[in-house]
Amino acid sequence: GNSVTQMEGPVTLSEEAFLTINCTYTATGYPSLFWYVQYPGEGLQLLLKATKADDKGSNKGFEATYRKETTSFHLEKGSVQVSDSAVYFCALSGSAGGTSYGKLTFGQGTILTVHP
Amino acid sequence: DGGITQSPKYLFRKEGQNVTLSCEQNLNHDAMYWYRQDPGQGLRLIYYSQIVNDFQKGDIAEGYSVSREKKESFPLTVTSAQKNPTAFYLCASSPRQGESYNSPLHFGNGTRLTVT
């Protein structure tokens, strides 16, 4: 079945540092890939998405590129802020015709803390 | 503003009691989902519904039940058969996946259930 693996956390950075959170996946067909962010005490919000190979999703300075050859969707940001402190989840949706159609599979989440 | 409302935010129950978590959406979405979040384990799908009066088991449905009598509402009952019910529960919705299988999920702010 489908699965998503994220890098172990927590990740602690200083403000303006470069961020990478690794995400790799296993899936059949051509899934769509997502990054969600969860701030303390809240639900998840969509951060960015990519629907086909070589697509780059971007939002609020965050970027991730759908790499089918390496089955990866790593999240990057060039200069993090204290307000970026949150939990980040990588996820994939089952592709049409598969048994996971219409469902999201999530990674375990990576806690990011940014210090001033 | 459209969105998903989960209530209550915090819920406390004694072991052996059934408890129902509320989820209401006014986004006119056909599909609704229940996820459970535990520390270090990401989100796991409990039940989902693509249309009124129809729902399917997710990956961890044992000890849970749902109903979908109205498009706007998808309540989750945590029964006494659930062995480890203390967790953070998230409800989500999306347009019907058959129309756009890469549609992101919209999440509520969650209900934290504690069973003692």
Phi, psi of B96 (to 5 degrees): -55, 125
pLDDT at residue A102 tops 60: no
Q: Would you place residue A100 in the very low, low, confident or very high pLDDT band (cuts 50, 70, 90)? A: very low
Classify the phi-psi angles of B62: left when phi > 0, otherwise alpha if psi is within -120 to 50, otherwise beta: beta
Q: What is the pLDDT of residues A39-58, one digit of tens each?
A: 988 889 999 999 889 999 99
On the question of pLDDT at B67 being above 90, the answer is: yes
Task: Tell me if B110 and A93 make a contact (CB, 8 A cut-off).
Answer: no
Give B-chain residues touching A110 at CB under 8 angstroms.
none
Answer whether B107's CB lies under 8 Å from A44's CB.
Answer: yes
* Residue B39 main-chain phi, psi, to 5 deg: -55, 130
Asked whether residue A96 carries a pLDDT value surpassing 80, the answer given is no
* Cα gap A30→A64, rounded to integer Å: 17
Token output for A48: 């960015």
Q: Phi, psi (5° rounding) for residue A68?
A: -75, -35
What is the nearest CA distance from B20 to chain A, expressed in angstroms? 19
**Spatial contact of B77 and B64, defined as CB atoms under 8 Å apart:** yes
SS3 B113: strand
Q: How many CA atoms lie within 13 A of A100 on its CB side?
A: 22
